[in-house]
Amino acid sequence: MNGQLRRIPGTDISVHPIGVDGSVFGWASGVEETARMLDTMVGYGGNLVSTADHYAGGRSEIMIGGWLATLADRGQAVISTKVGRHPDSPGLSTRNVVRSVEASLRRLDTGYIDLLTLDGVDEETPIDETLEAVDMLRRAGKVRYLAVSNYPGARVQDINALAETAVYPPVRLISAVYNLMQRDQFENDLAPVASALGIGVLARLPLASGFLSGDFRSKEDQPTSPLFDDALSHVGRVGNRVLGAIDEVGASLDESNGRIALSWALTKPGVVAAAVRVRSSEQLAELSGSDGIVLSRQQVATLDNASAR
């Protein structure tokens, strides 16, 4: 089931719209299930894995690295990893960026990172120092492109303005929480910047930690892993209204709630892909093909109106 690959603007990287969120690896998913999940991804034509150097204390990257070693071609996978929050190398100083990347390369057992993602603003480090470190790693062939996560739109503008004048690597991808329950910050701040600068967007938590799958309709519906605890924060009047709209659209298309919610995120302008956080390969397989669901203008409006704050 091969979906249409989408090019990340300004790069030579094309990704499947449905990527995998590696935060579950080493925590909610063990070694074998991690490998099954990533094999499932390849099976539906997927290639994007989003992780971070601090996920599960580095075990996420180790598990991904073990799987990468089984591939006939490293180019089959696009690896995005975040740096800046690992306790051994906190922040984005030259020293810590370089140390973080070198450690990630060892854990991932690879020679390069496709998308190095700066994880949050480091107020104590000038951004040109961080960009100089990224550029050094890029010239060494250890990093291909720059991405950011947990950055306000104004900071993204600053980075790309500086990159243009000083020939630093510009931001090519913005990783942002975006789903039917969490829209405002992205749509009001980051979306206009991404559009103006031609930056691609990776939607994180497109299922709102599992809430939009419809499995959590009351506080009694307890998640099986703490990684999905945030689903319960959406239970309530607004959440019920959104789930009702998803139920309606899903029934009209004979599609599951999760597939409808994921499809909605992927229809939005600028969204290149979504990184789904699921516990098992079966759940990932069920969501595959969501990018092929065609929502009518009226169905998108139904979901938009139900989720408007």
Taking only the tens place, the pLDDT of each residue in 48-79 is: 999 999 999 999 999 999 999 999 999 999 99
Report the share of the chain in percent with pLDDT over 90: 93
Q: Angle at Cα 283 formed by Cα 209 and Cα 43, nearest 5°?
A: 125
Q: Report residue 220's pLDDT band, with 50, 70 and 90 as the boundaries.
A: confident
pLDDT of residue 238: 96
Place of tokens 């490293």: 74
Q: Report residue 225's pLDDT band, with 50, 70 and 90 as the boundaries.
A: confident
Q: Could you give the CA distance from residue 124 to residue 275 in angstroms, rounded to a whole number?
A: 30
Q: Report residue 223's pLDDT band, with 50, 70 and 90 as the boundaries.
A: confident
- Taking 90 as the threshold, does the pLDDT of residue 278 lie above it? yes
Closest CA relative to residue 21, chosen from 91, 117, 155: 117
| 123-140 confidence digits (pLDDT tens) | 999 999 999 999 999 999
What is the SS3 assignment for 57? helix
Average pLDDT, the chain: 96
Token digits for 253?
């298309």
Q: Could you give the CA distance from residue 169 to residue 150 in angstroms, rounded to a whole number?
A: 18
For residues 273-301, b (16+ Cβ closer than 10 Å) or e, as one string? bbbbbbbebebbbebbbbbebebeeebee
Closest CA relative to residue 276, chosen from 254, 261, 255: 261
- For the chain, the residue count is 309
Q: Could you give the CA distance from residue 74 to residue 110 in angstroms, rounded to a whole number?
A: 8
Mean pLDDT of 289-296: 96
Q: How far is CA 200 from CA 3, 42, 234, 275, 302, in A?
A: 18, 22, 27, 13, 26
| 229-239 confidence digits (pLDDT tens) | 999 999 999 99
Side-chain half-sphere CA neighbours of 114 within 13 A = 19
Domains recognised in the chain with CATH numbers: 6-307 (3.20.20.100)
Task: With beta carbons less than 8 A apart as the criterion, state whether 293 and 259 touch.
Answer: yes
| 151-203 confidence digits (pLDDT tens) | 999 999 999 999 999 999 999 999 999 999 999 999 999 999 999 999 999 99
pLDDT of residue 2: 54
